[in-house]
Amino acid sequence: MASLSHDVFAKVRGHERAEQLRAAREADLLPYFRTLEGPAGPVVEMEGAARIMLGSNNYLGLTGDARVIEGAQAALNRYGTGLTGSRLLNGTIALHLELEQEIADWMGVEEALVFTTGHQANLAALGTLLAPGDTVVADSGDHASILDGCLLSRAKLRAFRHNRMDKLERALEKAAGDGGGVLVVVDGVFSMEGDVAPLGRISELCARYGTRLMVDEAHGAGVLGARGAGASELLGVEDRVDLRMGTFSKSLASCGGFLAGDHEVIDFLRVQSRAFLFTAAAVPAAVGAALAALRIVRSEEGPQLLERVLDNAAYLHGGLRERGFKVVEHEGDQMTPIVPVIVGDDWKAVLLWRALYDAGVFVNVAIHPAVPPGGALLRTSVMATHDRATLDRALDVLASVKTDFEAQHGPLPV
Ligand SMILES: Cc1ncc(COP(=O)(O)O)c(C=O)c1O
């Protein structure tokens, strides 16, 4: 083969991230790609040992629920293993339509559209509704799939500092001069910090500047609000949010995503969004599981599950604070299942993760660029199905690992 004068693959050699990955693997310090050997319950089998799972998005603990498994199995038995085509051509089954109807009812909107993943739902909404000439105003903490959708659209992106309403207002002032349509898009619950967007003030600003508002409810749906419809419901702004996105990969114990809004918008996306049209429909088992989980959330049992997960979050939050950890505090002490501990230094966060892992507790680690430089977090999260004895055991492990860690590496932030 002729030699390549400028090899596009050259960048993979000696790339900073690839080098970090190699070094972390060599030292057996990689907090990512660890292997589960059983269901994602409150205690998991992971790489040959039982570990308390404080790093899952299975917030309601429904992935192991018999009714959800039965929903997946019935769909599998009826429709087979895969749909082998897009929703448009040959991949729509009755379960999609039932699920879309139930999501629309749950969200209190005219219509919903189900996607193969939540990531694609964000790509579809932003990449299709925005166009060159428009402006999108996004929180700097928004999920990567939101940013991907913004980039895909080639609209002008104006990011504002996380949850800073003065910065949002500045961005809106500037956007008003850009000359195109303007959409504000925020996470309802931010995935790393677990804080809730101030949707009351955001929606007021959107109304004042005449912009549309989209909220990503990936971490809020199935958790917040009396119906579990998310941050928009909790903060009483449902009628001021133009488009809501959600995922089945967290509280709804499956995989897939949705958009929910007015018929006109959803119908446009149905025939126009490439991330919907040019991908295979989710496997039937995923759709069946999400539908069964949603029915549990909307049943009489739903509010108890929501209460339990938030109680567990408050318990873990208080327990960590009592043991001297610096826990991210949220406005109005609003709990979400995400309880992040501030470590600061990336390397310390990784070492602490490893010590916890060895002691039988699994947490997630967020280092730069997932968080700002120097803002490394241990992202702990709870399920409704964690019992207090398990959380107490985890807190004991956290406390003793902290003591040993500080003796070796100096104090953690307080
Ligand atoms: C805030 C947020 N939005 C979107 C997504 C994408 O959802 P999915 O996992 O269904 O692709 C996620 C999770 O991965 C998320 O945390």
Distance 1 CA to ligand 1 centre (A): 42
Amino acid identity of 63? T
Residue of the nearest CA to atom 16 in ligand 1?
191
- CA of 247 from ligand 1 middle (Å) equals 6
Tokens 């850009």 sit on residue? 178
Q: Is the CB of 317 under 6 A from ligand 1?
A: no
Give, for ligand 1, the residue of 120, 224, 249, 381 to mutate: max count of ligand atoms closer than 8 Å to Cβ.
249
pLDDT greater than 80 at residue 3? no
User: Strands 135-139 and 376-381: what pairing?
Assistant: unpaired
Pocket-testing residue among 145, 191, 232, 245, ligand 1, by greatest number of atoms within 8 A of Cβ = 145
Residues 125-135: pLDDT tens digits? 999 999 999 99
Domains and CATH numbers, the chain: 25-54+301-409 (3.90.1150.10), 65-297 (3.40.640.10)
Mean pLDDT (whole number) for 283-298? 98
For residues 372-389, b (16+ Cβ closer than 10 Å) or e, as one string?
eeebbbbbbbbbbbbeee
What is each CA distance from 250 to 191, 192, 193, 285, 378, in whole angstroms? 11, 14, 16, 16, 19
Contact 196, 189 (CB under 8 A): yes
**Residue in 18, 80, 150, 99 with CA at minimum distance from that of residue 293:** 99
Q: Would you say the CB of residue 254 lies under 6 angstroms from ligand 1? A: no
Are the CB atoms for 210 and 358 separated by under 8 Å?
Answer: no
Atom of ligand 1 nearest to the CA of 191: 16
**Under DSSP, is residue 366 helix (H, G, I), strand (E, B) or coil?**
strand
| Model confidence pLDDT, tens digit, residues 368-393 | 888 888 999 999 999 999 999 999 99
Residues 123, 126, 131: CA angle, nearest 5 degrees:
125
Ligand 1 contact, 145 CB (< 6 A)? yes
* Residue with tokens 């488009």, as numbered in its chain: 243
Per the CB < 8 A criterion, the answer to whether 297 and 252 are in contact is: yes
What average pLDDT does the chain have?
96
Is there an atom of ligand 1 within 6 Å of 139 CB?
A: no
pLDDT tens by residue, 4-60:
778 999 988 888 878 878 888 898 899 999 999 999 999 999 999 999 999 999 999
Q: Which atom of ligand 1 is nearest to the CA of 257?
A: 10
The three-state secondary structure class of 306 is helix
Alpha helices in 216-283 (DSSP H): 231-234, 263-272, 274-277
* Residue of 143, 193, 336 with the most ligand 1 atoms within 8 Å of its CB, for mutation: 143
